Amino acid sequence: MKPVTTDRIRNVALVGHGGAGKTTLAEAMLLESGTIKRAGSVEDGTSVCDFDPEEQRRGISVSLAVAPLAFDDHKVNLIDTPGYADFVGDVAAGLRVADLAIFVVSAVEGVEVGTETAWRLAEAENIPRAVFITKLDRERASFDRTLAALKSAFGNGIAPLELPIGQENDFRGVIDLLEDRARTYSDGTATESPIPEELASTEHEVHEALVEGIVVGDDALMERYLADEEVDVGELAHALASGIASADVFPVLCGSGSEHVGIDRLLRFIIDEGPAPTDQGGPPAALVFKTVADPYVGRVNLFKVLAGPVRVDDHLTNVRTGADARLHQITTIRGKEQEPVSEVPVGDLAAVAKLTDTTTGDLLTAPGSTATAEPLTTPVPVLATAIRATSKADDDKLATALHRLDDEDPSLQVRRNDRTHQVVLRGMGETHLSLAIARLHDKFGVEVDEEPVKVEYRETVTGTAEAEGKHKKQSGGHGQFGVATIRLEPGPPGTGLEFVDAVVGGAIPRPFIPAVEKGIREAMEHGGVRGFPVVDVKVTLLDGKHHSVDSNEMSFKMAGSLAFRSAMADAHPVVLEPISELVVTVPDEFQGDVMGDLNAKRGRIQGSASLGRGDAEIVAHVPTSELQRYAIDLPPPRSMTHGRGTFTVSHDGYEQVPAHLVDRLSADD
């Protein structure tokens, strides 16, 4: 592809609900620009952007893909993002480097949860936005219904720039409201045609509304418009472009990705009205927005040039690690294809391989650079699962594979819990976690089994008990002997062990007292009557016995541990469970269901408040064990809130497990 200047680059993220038609639209634009000769399809796994075997198997995009095309001496970098809620991390990353977000909305389903989620992300970063209503060829498609839904969801900035000609299987073209011209398509080929009679008055009406919407943002134009002076299309297009760039006007275009209608107009719009990237100026700088663990070349970082250009063999510095990042090999990426390039202009997207410790969100700069970049927003994981390697061979490979998996997916958290001896994966949902496990197998050759994440119960006591621990081994030769008498009682919440030495008269020689404490601590870690670690207790070492020859540290460690175990059994032991503070955000109409469900989960509602925009926030304290599947119960489309609920969870201390629930608990489970 011919190198272009920054003003001729367009970085366009395709965002929207799962299945709306983003990947198909990308394919249609690649075909329209002549970048590909034949359109592939999502169904048979031949699309450019859904190249990952998991995407082809599931028929959905699971990570962002970049696909550049050339059109009218411009370079358009399409960033096809996944619509499925679990992969929102890649939507945020795609939006971070886009200069324009195109919301792909199905004319059948209209505005959906994924559309709203992506809109909130783009709004938070004030990214210029436009909408493409697709699938107008489908049965039950409706442009008017979808447009109304867009206006009610996203406000008056929504401005139709086109109208469809025909609908459902009669859908055959679009009317350009700015130029007052119509185009009809057959087999993807466009023909200029007069505006159909039956649409002329609507067209005129909507054209007027569009012009008004545009001139409102430009005082000089407004004055002339009110004075009935002629405002030509070029001036309107210019004012429109600045309304888009300032994220005040959100034009709506329409068509069909699979029927290839309106695609040429969409590309024209991106070139003529879409904003170009900005140049931060100064020495070379680049932001990494995606990392891929490529089976052949290893780690590949996708980056956007913020200042530059950047060239092969440039020595940049990773601002996070301070490490040298020499750009050995730079490539442009289209789907899974890579093509080496020697230079990347400012604003463009490219990839670099083999940078040792560079990952998503890292900024790479040349000495003296003042370039800055906000950290990428990574969504907080909401669902966890534990994995165990199925064999020793798999276990040997697991750590490296997890490291590579973690590297390419910032919204996946991998943790080894040394207390429960589990490797825990935390992600955005069931699909996200099952994909991670599939990748461990398919991409990194590691087989694992899944198991429930163990809840970290604790034990403590509610009563006081005294007990003696006697460790005696005297069968000839150097024996072992130690006796410790302790009092065990409850300690303040949130503490571990308060150990009090009340031994008098040298009943236990000074040097051996720490050994008693050590034995008690180990017994606490090892677990109480139900095998869970013991916390919040006070132990007073009251008395003991020793033997001048046979007593040693080991003897008194054992004596401490024995005394603790027998006192624990008599001190009314109870099990403590972790409690989470849950903050749920839901549309008002779901409040009742959510609160009812939380009550059934032994939750205590702390409060609820309206957030405005029809949303409410509910705060509750809920046993963590009851929330293991909350990411499945609350947000997904089929759940209580039909995909519109979000939540955050944080640890909020421990509470006693109700007696009727204790019997089913055991650390061995």
**Which chain residues interact with Mg ion by CB under 5 A?**
22-23, 61
Residue of 11, 13, 23, 318 interacting with ligand GTP (CB under 6 A): 23
Shortest approach of Mg ion to residue 22 CB, angstroms?
A: 5
Residue recorded with tokens 């950290």: 375
Q: Which does 437 bind (CB under 5 to 8 A by kind): ligand GTP, Mg ion, none?
A: none
Residues 39, 29: Cα–Cα separation, whole Å: 9
Sequence-ordered alpha helix ranges (H) in 409-494: 430-442
Least distance (Å) between residue 297 CB and Mg ion: 25
Which stretch, 251-259, 460-468, 599-607, 631-639, contacts ligand GTP (CB under 6 A)? 251-259
Nearer to ligand GTP, 84 or 499 (CB): 84
Residue 484: enclosing H or E segment and its boundaries? strand 480-490
Among 11, 12, 13, 19, contact with ligand GTP (rule: CB under 6 A): 19
State the DSSP code for 110. B
Q: Nearest approach, Cβ of 172 to ligand GTP (angstroms)?
A: 13
Which helix or strand (DSSP H or E) is residue 392 part of?
A: helix 392-408
Phi, psi of 9 (to 5 degrees): -105, 140
Query: In terms of Cα–Cα distance, which of 49, 56, 4, 55 is closest to 30?
Result: 49
Residue 40 interacting with ligand GTP (CB under 6 A): no
CA–CA separation, 177 vs 108, rounded Å?
23
**CA separation for the pair 406, 291 (Å, rounded):** 10
CB closer to ligand GTP out of 42 and 389: 42
Given the rule CB under 6 A, which of 202-210, 254-262, 411-419, 564-572 is the region that contacts ligand GTP? 254-262
Q: How far is the CB of 55 from ligand GTP (least distance, A)?
A: 8
Assign 3-class secondary structure to 444-460.
CCCCEEEECCCCCCEEE
Single out the residue of 35, 142, 256, 552 in contact with ligand GTP (rule: CB under 6 A).
Answer: 256
Write out the two tokens for 634.
């609350």
Q: What pairs with residue 468 in β-bridges?
A: 485
What mask of x and - would describe binding to ligand GTP in positions 88 to 127, judged by CB under 6 A? Answer: ----------------x-----------------------
Q: Identify which of residues 45 and 491 has a Cβ nearer to ligand GTP in the complex.
A: 45
User: Is residue 443 near ligand GTP by the rule CB under 6 A?
Assistant: no
Amino acid making up residue 250: F
Q: Which of 178, 176, 198, 186 is nearest to 261 (CA)?
A: 186
The minimum distance between CB 16 and ligand GTP, in angstroms, equals: 6
Nearest CB to Mg ion, comparing residues 22 and 138: 22
Does the footprint of ligand GTP cover residue 21 (CB under 6 A)? yes
Whole-number CA gyration radius for the chain = 32
Q: Is 185 among the residues that bind ligand GTP (CB under 6 A)?
A: no
CB of 82: closest distance to ligand GTP in angstroms?
Answer: 5
The verdict on 82 binding ligand GTP (CB under 6 A) reads yes
> Minimum distance between the CB of residue 630 and ligand GTP, rounded to whole angstroms?
24
Strand ranges for 308-457 from DSSP E? 310-311, 315-318, 324-326, 330-334, 337-341, 343-344, 349-353, 363-365, 383-389, 413-417, 422-427, 448-451
* Binding of ligand GTP by 258 (CB under 6 A): yes
Phi-psi map region of 481: left, alpha, beta (phi>0 left; psi -120 to 50 alpha): beta
Within residues 636-665, the interface with ligand GTP by CB under 6 A covers: none
Window of 78-86, 285-293, 343-351, 532-540 that interacts with ligand GTP by CB under 6 A = 78-86
Name the nearest CA neighbour of 9 among 276, 310, 304, 302: 276
User: Where along the sequence are the contacts to ligand GTP (CB under 6 A)?
Assistant: 18-24, 42-43, 60-61, 82-84, 104, 134-135, 137-138, 256-259
